[in-house]
């Protein structure tokens, strides 16, 4: 009987040890998420980031601590329908500043790699800023400089909308030959050069293929994709094809995986479109209340979350994208850019930032070493951040 008890107990001991192991590694490593849309979400939902928002958002300050996030790059975003995008972006930046000022013991604004390390050492959330959409500089290099001076350390050259100087993935795919130009104009190349000079990382998420290749041929610094996944596994225009992935590896850059179901699961988009069509009246009513159209669809997904849950993919699908990039260009070129609070459907296991430890658990189960997991969680981003910073 003693032997039977031992046999029953052994698997339980193994599972407990493994559980403790992934949690220890997760909280010991530096975890960096390069894309979270909570600044926009708090404006649209009229809530405060530094309050308990569980059930209302994917993120809040205390849940970021719970999830082991050490560095969060907050997405500064507005859609093209905003009449004054630069002013709107600064309003969102003001929000992040206010959060830091109200919570000096819990978070601090970070502009340099040294400040990042300082925040991590002090066990404060290192708050960084990334502008999602070049339209927010309003074709003005001085506004780009102002963003940098306020702490913006990457800019996504386009969102779904093109600018006068760069074409988006959406427009290159849907409008094609009707576009006035494809890729970067001469002014677009000036912007890339200015970002390199400043020490602002060039983010190619949302960029059209021609824009991507023009960036590769223009930049003198490693680039990032702050929230993109693999086209060959999910053929969405927002994802990166093999040749693009290889080019980012050669450039020394990093692809930070987007958690959105529509970018990791090839079956999701058709289901999501049917869902939005079914709830069109709800989406329209939110838009009528001046909610940004992109967020109206997200908020309806949250209202009917049980319906959406039925077609959300599992975390393993996200890890498949990570495996694919690692096999193609190596573990030094992949990270995490969740897009939390900018999406209605992350993987089933990841209902909010507090669930981040499950990513580390999944990586261990796939056989990644502790050293490689530390790179994926944050080390790779730190390398690129340092490579872009002006000495």
Q: Report helix, strand or coil for 137.
A: helix
Contact 110, 385 (CB under 8 A): no
> What is the distance between the alpha carbons of residues 19 and 387, in angstroms, rounded to a whole number?
35
- Inside any domain, residue 282: yes
Query: pLDDT in tens for each of the 391 residues of the chain?
Result: 434 433 444 444 444 445 559 999 999 999 999 999 999 999 999 999 999 999 999 999 999 999 999 999 999 999 999 999 999 999 999 999 999 999 999 999 999 999 999 999 999 999 999 999 999 999 999 999 999 999 999 999 999 999 999 999 999 999 988 888 999 999 999 999 999 999 999 999 999 999 999 999 999 999 999 999 999 999 999 999 999 999 999 999 999 999 999 999 999 988 878 888 888 888 888 889 888 887 788 888 888 888 888 889 999 999 999 999 999 999 999 999 999 999 989 999 999 999 999 999 999 999 999 999 999 999 999 999 999 999 7
- Inside any domain, residue 4: no
> What is the distance between the alpha carbons of residues 226 and 209, in angstroms, rounded to a whole number?
16
User: Do 109 and 233 have their domain in common?
Assistant: yes
Q: How many H-runs (helices) and E-runs (strands) does the chain carry?
A: 19, 9
CB atoms within 10 A of CB 237: 17
User: Do 306 and 320 have their domain in common?
Assistant: no
Number of structural domains (the chain) is 2
| Region for 376 from its dihedrals, namely left if φ exceeds 0, alpha if ψ lies in -120 to 50, beta otherwise | alpha
Q: Does the pTM exceed 0.85? A: yes
CA atoms within 13 A on the CB side of 104: 1
CA 206 to mean position of chain CA atoms:
12
- Inside any domain, residue 10: no
CB atoms within 10 A of CB 164: 13
> What is the distance between the alpha carbons of residues 321 and 315, in angstroms, rounded to a whole number?
10
Contact 198, 148 (CB under 8 A): yes
End position of a domain, from candidates 276, 292, 310: 310
Contact 134, 155 (CB under 8 A): yes
User: Do 243 and 319 have their domain in common?
Assistant: yes
Which domain CATH number covers 115? 3.20.20.140
User: Do 75 and 215 have their domain in common?
Assistant: yes
> What is the distance between the alpha carbons of residues 98 and 109, in angstroms, rounded to a whole number?
10
> What is the distance between the alpha carbons of residues 361 and 240, in angstroms, rounded to a whole number?
26
The tokens 């494809």 sit on which residue?
Answer: 182
pLDDT of 18 reads 52
pLDDT of 269 reads 86
User: Residue 348: which domain range?
Assistant: 29-266+314-388
């Amino acid at each position: 009987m003693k032997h039977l008890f031992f046999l029953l107990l052994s698997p339980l001991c193994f599972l407990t040890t493994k559980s403790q192991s992934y949690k220890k590694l997760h909280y010991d490593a530096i975890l960096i998420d390069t894309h979270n849309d909570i600044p926009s979400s708090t404006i649209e939902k009229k809530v405060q980031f530094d309050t308990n928002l569980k059930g209302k958002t994917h993120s809040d300050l205390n849940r970021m601590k719970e999830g082991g996030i050490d560095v969060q790059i907050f997405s500064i975003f507005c859609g093209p329908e905003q009449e004054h995008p630069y002013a709107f972006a600064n309003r969102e930046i003001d929000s992040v500043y206010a959060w830091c000022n109200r919570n000096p013991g819990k978070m601090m604004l970070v502009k340099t790699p040294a400040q990042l390390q300082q925040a991590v050492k002090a066990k404060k959330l290192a708050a960084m800023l990334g502008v999602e959409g070049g339209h927010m500089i309003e074709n003005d290099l001085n506004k780009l400089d102002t963003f940098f001076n306020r702490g913006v350390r990457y800019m996504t050259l386009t969102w779904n909308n093109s600018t006068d100087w760069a074409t988006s993935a959406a427009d290159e795919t849907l409008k094609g030959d009707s576009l006035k130009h494809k890729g970067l104009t001469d002014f677009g190349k000036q912007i890339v050069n200015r970002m390199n000079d400043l020490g602002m990382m060039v983010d190619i998420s949302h960029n059209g293929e021609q824009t991507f290749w023009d960036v590769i041929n223009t930049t003198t610094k490693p680039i990032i994709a702050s929230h993109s996944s693999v086209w060959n596994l999910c053929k969405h225009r927002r994802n990166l094809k093999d040749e693009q992935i290889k080019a980012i590896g050669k450039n020394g850059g990093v692809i930070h995986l987007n958690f959105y179901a529509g970018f990791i699961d090839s079956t999701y988009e058709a289901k999501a479109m049917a869902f939005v069509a079914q709830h069109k009246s709800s989406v329209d009513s939110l838009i009528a209340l001046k909610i940004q159209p992109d967020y109206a669809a997200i908020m309806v997904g949250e209202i009917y979350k049980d319906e959406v849950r039925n077609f959300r993919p599992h975390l393993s699908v996200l890890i498949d994208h990570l495996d694919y990039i690692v096999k193609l260009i190596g573990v030094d070129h992949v990270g995490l850019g969740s897009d939390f609070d900018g999406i209605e459907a992350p993987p089933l296991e990841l209902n909010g930032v507090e669930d981040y430890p499950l990513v580390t658990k999944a990586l261990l189960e796939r056989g990644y070493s502790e050293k490689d997991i530390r790179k994926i969680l944050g080390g790779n981003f730190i390398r690129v951040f340092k490579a872009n910073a002006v000495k």
